[in-house]
Chains A and B, each alone.
Chain A
Amino acid sequence: MGRALWRTLIAALYLFLLAPIIVVLIVSFDTSPYLVFPPTGFSFGSYRQVFSNEGFLNGFRVSLVVGAVVAVLATAIGTMASLALVRGRFRGRGAMNAVFLSPLLVPHVVLALSLLLLFSPLALTDTYLGLTLSHLGIAIPYTIRTVSASLATADTGCEEAARVLGAGPFTTFRRVTLPLIRPGLVAGLVTSFLISFDEAVISLFVAGNRVSPLPVQVLQYVQYRTDPQVAALSVYLILLSVLVVIVVERSLGLRRTLR
């Protein structure tokens, strides 16, 4: 009896946890122009309309470009820093580690305001450069974490063997270390892309009318309208992240990357 009760409780909690996603899925097929429940009809209309919504399309393009650039830069910078932090022997290594993780301790809304105040006199608001810079700071701690974890578990014996056999430091890095930490690199790329792609608050402060990423477009749309288009768009985005996870899982194994 107690066991059945326990199972029911767990099932109910899972239902609560997944409720908004389930509801978004149901509403996305609705035909009514405003928000009602239960749905009044069934169609794929909203899924088509998303593709004629200029705001969403432009936002998607901006998010894709910024996310890709942020992913590459954050992973490159994070890899260099990780090499120094994990393999290097210098004083103040622990302090450096703490410095690199400290952005995680600042609320995004505070960072968002700070960036707006700094970027505004520099004319960096509402530009690709400003948006990319603003996402870079929050992505780097994550890439350092994923790459450092990979580096820490990679066998240094192979690197030493390569050096003993006459390979220079760059060759050793390119031919030995890089393949060894590939899972960490891919995890860093994916994580930093998703962080940038999903960042709403910092983008809201730093973006303007010209360069406006998808989360900001959706946020502003939802504030005034609640038709099923946003639901359909959300389903697309969920499918996109599921796809990314499956690709990562297939190529590397999720357990190794999500550690």
Chain B
Amino acid sequence: MAAGTTERTGGRVALGLLLPGVLALVATYGLPLVWVLRMSLNEGRSGGAIQQTVTADSFAKVLGDGFYWKVIGSTVQLGVLVTVCAVVLSYPIALFLSQTTSRWRGVLVALAVAPLLTSSVARTYGWMVILGDQGVVNGTLRDLGLISGSVPLANNLTGVVIALTEIFMPYAVLAMLSGFGRLSGELEHAAASLGANRWRVFWRVTLPLSLPGVLTAALLVFVLAISAYVTPALIGGGRVFVLATEIYDEATVQLNWPVAAALSVLLLVLFSTIVLVYQRANRALEAQSGRPS
């Protein structure tokens, strides 16, 4: 009898417990997103005035303008470059951390993710110091007499890629570490004892087993990179135009909210496409590894 009462009231209690959370999410996330979709269909007039209507004008303006296509292009370019660099550079660290038996392992893991505890604004500032014309790299090269002017590493895409790579590497390392669960070392041992040399073990055993982790890391870095604002704005020095910086510019400088909203919708579409591609790739990978070879 007591169990029956619990069952019946259970649903109502659960709903009551969920209510504050649902309300908070609707107010801070659901409603604003609906609002931005609606805004993208309005018409932007000069001086920030907005004509309430339903039109695809803003999308037509954005997609009919070569400048915005360049913005979309460099956003994707930035995403791809940062993803490749961050994944390639994080892979050895993650592999090392998953295989090491050192008693310093805990400290080394902490060091690899420590940058996450530092504000991204502060780390971007650090990269400005390193990459600037008077910065660490250029200063050192000049002192060594290798160059007389300066290598352009800031105020362009190169600098943004370098900084974002470092900023997102801890995420990539973490994603890979949790995805490397199947790397027990036993299979590698077996392959080695059966006569495979070290490269062969890596190519035929370690790499295939670690691919799911690599894929997750790549997705994470890509979606973070195409929506990054702080680093492109600061290191780009106003000369790197990506969707995120353009959304801010349209919203606060040009005061064309419908266009800013349309750009946001485009970024969301880009975002969702990538997530779908990831899910496809992940399923294909699972099907492959499930098959006995």
CB distance from A211 to the nearest CB of B (A): 16
A99, B22: Cα distance in complex, Å: 9
In the bound complex, what is the Cα–Cα distance between A83 and B19 (angstroms)? 12
- Give chain A's interface secondary structure class: helix
Fill in one digit per residue for B144-155: 1 if any A CB lies within 8 Å of its CB, else 0: 000000000000
Chain A contact residue count (CB 8 A cutoff) = 77
A27 near B: Cβ within 8 Å? yes
Q: Is the interface of B mostly helix, strand, loop or mixed?
A: helix
B218 CB within 8 Å of chain A: no
Residues of A within 8 A of B234 (CB): 219, 222-223
User: Is the CB of B1 closer than 8 A to any CB of chain A?
Assistant: no
Q: With contacts A88-B10, A114-B32, A114-B264 known, is A218 near B129, CB below 8 A? A: no
- Chain B residues contacting A204 (CB-CB under 8 Å) are 229, 248
* Residues B139 and A19 in contact, CB atoms below 8 Å apart: no
B126 pairs with A23, CB closer than 8 A: yes
Q: Any chain B CB within 8 A of the CB of A60?
A: no
Check: A115 CB closer than 8 A to any chain B CB.
Answer: yes
Known: A37-B139, A114-B35. A218 touches B122 (CB 8 A): yes
Are B260 and A113 in contact, with the CB atoms below 8 A?
yes
* CB within 8 Å for A37 and B134 given contacts A78-B21, A103-B25: yes
8 Å CB contacts to A: which residues of B66-122? 89, 92-93, 96, 111-112, 114-115, 117-122
Among B180-188, B267-275, B285-293, the stretch in contact with A: B267-275
Q: Is the CB of A198 within 8 A of B13?
A: no
Rounded to whole angstroms, the CA-CA distance of A218 and B170 in the bound complex is: 23
Contact with B along A14-33 (1 / 0, CB 8 A): 10111111011001000000
User: How far apart sit A36 and B138, CA to CA, in the bound complex (Å)?
Assistant: 10
Q: Which bucket holds chain B's interface residue count?
A: 35 or more
A59 CB to nearest chain B CB (Å): 11
A10 to B108 Cα, complex, angstroms: 11
B49 interface residue (CB < 8 Å to A): no
Contacts of B122 in A (CB 8 A): 20, 24, 218, 230, 233-234, 237-238
Please tell me if the beta carbons of A117 and B18 are within 8 angstroms of each other in the complex.
Answer: no
Partner of B114, one of A18, A102, A237: A18
Report the minimal beta-carbon distance from B146 to chain A, rounded to whole angstroms: 16
Interface readout for A75-106 with B: 1 if CB under 8 Å, 0 if not? Answer: 01110110111001110000010011011011
Contacts of A85 on B, CB cut-off 8 Å? Answer: 18
What residues make up the interface of A, taking CB atoms closer than 8 Å to B? 2, 6, 9-10, 13-14, 16-21, 23-24, 27, 35-38, 73, 76-78, 80-81, 83-85, 88-90, 96, 99-100, 102-103, 105-111, 113-118, 133-134, 136-137, 140, 144, 169, 194, 198, 200-201, 204-205, 215, 218-219, 222-223, 226, 230-231, 233-234, 237-238, 241-242, 245
**Pairs across A and B, CB under 8 Å, 23 listed:** A17-B169, A19-B126, A20-B122, A20-B124, A20-B125, A21-B115, A21-B118, A24-B129, A35-B129, A37-B130, A88-B14, A90-B10, A103-B25, A107-B268, A108-B227, A109-B264, A113-B261, A114-B264, A194-B117, A198-B119, A222-B121, A222-B234, A234-B119
Q: 10 tightest CB-CB pairs across the interface, nearest first? A: A20-B126, A137-B28, A107-B227, A114-B32, A88-B14, A234-B122, A81-B21, A84-B17, A114-B36, A84-B14
